[in-house]
Structure 1
Amino acid sequence: MGDAEARHVGAVHNDPAPVEWINADSQAEVLLLCEHAGQAIPSHLYDLGLPKGAIDRHIGWDIGAEKLARAVAEKLDAPLILQRYSRLVLDCNRPPHSAGSIPEVSDTVVIPANQGLDPKARAQRQSTIFDPLNDAIQDGFLRAPRRAGFSIHTFTRQMQLGERRTWDAGILCRRDLPTAQTILESITRADPALTVALNEPYQIEEDGDWFIPQHAEPRGLRHSLIEVCNDQVETEVQVEKWAELLAVALRDVLAQTR
């Protein structure tokens, strides 16, 4: 497989495959992940009963995250794993049996198809969406020696309830503070006008996150979950800017471990 090719894994009927690989054969020392890249809904779930347009809002996916992740992967010539289904079907950065895995409400929007799911329905979503992504992550770390892993997300500036978020980006960590600080310092050094914070607007939690607690930390990798405000990646120019900022920052992290 060439570097420009993407490999799809685990398609069911006419639904899209849950996992897409970019640069699958790259031997780069860093593995990239984007769990909230897609908006797909399995055909048997129709539109989840959502109000019109809801799937296009930040509740349905991480707006701009896929474009940003692809651009960073290209700059680093690194492997990237994309998850194609909406986080409202199943959130692949949540433990599969947690309350947040299949949300019944997201930012005040009720998701009718997620109300009162029985164990069989939950298990079916896990086996067809979560498990293939988790297997891909495992595979990504087996394909080549990796010294770092990063998950790329975006967040919205304003939730329906709550104060306006002032950060342009947040670098999330729990046990690997040096990596998060290196990324933050690299970004702010390149553009001091940006507001970048540690562990904002979220924090890594054992029962609320998956990639870092279950994959990055146990392997002893340099890592963080990178959150960029989605109003920072609305245009191609913005995506290019942030991709360069992150590529430089991640190279700085890798340089520290050699």
Structure 2
Amino acid sequence: MSERQQDGCEATVCVTNAAGAGAVLLLCEHASAHIPSRYGDLGLRPEWRDSHAAWDPGALALSQLLSEALDAPLVSGRVSRLVYDINRPPEAAAAMPARSELVEIPGNADLTPAQRAERIATVYRPFCEAVSGLLDAEARAIVTVHSFTPVYFGAARPTEIGILHDSDARLAEAMLAHAPATRRVDRNMPYGPEDGVTHSLQLHGIARGLPNVMLEVRNDLLTTPGDISGIAQELLAMLRPALAAVPVEAADA
């Protein structure tokens, strides 16, 4: 893989529809299961290399549909979260985990400070810089898009769509007000801020005073293009009126 790709993409981050005029900036942190060759295969068993532990299946395709519908720029990660989870700060153990649910990641065991610093510099910071550059140019609401596994540590998860927030609940509450009765939509499920999953919201949204929300969709609802299109429409039916109700105003510097 070259260091520079076409269409706004680099080795570890991709920006699409950068000129979009919508009021939203979409983030898809876990868009790819790709492990750059410099890390080998992290010692992963073959069945784990494309599993939900390595990325969020369906999340990128869903993000792309939302980007088109909202004319929103989209920043997506191009490296597996098992190399570096860019929804975690560098000091977090989960940023470069040695274990994820049932998955052992030998290549992350006993990383040296230099190895950790290399991943921070080449995976985490380029993503953050891409997001910051777009927000410096224009204040927008932050919407991060994820998917989650239906079964976690052997337990089934009834939530179908999670609407997650940290200390700023404005956009989440406005979306929940329009949640369909036909779908199991839950607040701060299957994760919440206590699980350390709101780093991107804190860093790019709350710190700038921008409305922000994290969307989690159960990945068995994202298995076909038709499924993904249907979920996109359901999310838009919640997100559009929420955006209309919550003004986008950057915090005073």
TM-score by length of 2: 0.91
Residues 1:174 and 2:184 are matched in the alignment = no
Alignment match of 2:72 (pick from 63, 67, 78)? 78
Give the conservation status (yes or no) of the 8 Å contact 2:98–2:108: yes
Match of 1:100, SS? Answer: helix
In structure 1, what is the Cα distance between the partners aligned to 2:166 and 2:104?
31
The answer to whether the 8 Å contact 2:144/2:214 transfers is: yes
Give 3-state SS (helix, strand or coil) of 2:178's partner.
Answer: helix
Q: Which residue of the other structure, out of 121, 127, 132, is the alignment partner of 1:133?
A: 127
Partner of 2:136: 142
Aligned to 1:214: 203
Residue 23 of structure 2: aligned partner = 29
1:120 corresponds to which residue? 114
1:45 and 2:8 correspond:
no
What's the secondary structure of 1:63's corresponding residue?
coil
1:162 to partner: Cα distance: 4.4
For structure 1, list consecutive stretches of 5 or more residues without a partner in the other structure: 10-16
2:146 equivalent to 1:153: yes
Q: Deviations over 1:155-212 (max 9, x none)?
A: 00002x2421001011111223232122223231xxx221010000101249554211
Aligned to 1:14: none
CA contact (8 A) 2:191 2:197 kept: no
Separation in 1 of the partners of 2:172 and 2:198?
17
Counting matched residue pairs gives 242
Whole-angstrom CA distance in 1 between matches of 2:189 and 2:112: 34
Answer yes or no: is the 8 Å Cα contact 1:60–1:86 preserved in 2: yes
Q: Is 2:215 aligned against 1:247?
A: no
Give the secondary structure class of the aligned counterpart of 2:96.
coil
Counterpart residue identity of residue 163, structure 2: I
Equivalent position amino acid for 2:185 in 1: V
Aligned partners of 1:208 and 1:75: how far apart in 2? 26
Rounded to whole Å, the distance in 1 between the matches of 2:195 and 2:215 is 17
Matches within 5 A, 1:221-232: 221-232=210-221
Identity of aligned residues (%): 37
8 Å CA contact 2:86–2:95 kept in 1: the answer is yes
Q: Which amino acid aligns with 1:8?
A: C
Shift of 1:6: 2.9
- Match 1:89 to one of 83, 87, 95: 83
Q: How far apart, in 1, do the equivalents of 2:66 and 2:142 lie?
A: 13
**2:250 alignment partner in structure 1:** none
Counterparts of 1:36 and 1:118, CA distance in 2: 24
Read off the aligned partner of 1:40 and give its amino acid letter: H
Offset of residue 55 of structure 1: 1.5
Unaligned segments of structure 2, at least 5 residues: 1-5, 248-253
- Find the counterpart in structure 1 of residue 246 from structure 2: 257
Tell me the residue number matched to 2:94: 100
Contact kept, 8 Å, 2:139 with 2:210, in 1: the verdict is no
Contact 1:37 1:84 in 2 (8 A): yes
**What residue is the counterpart of 1:198 in the other structure?**
187
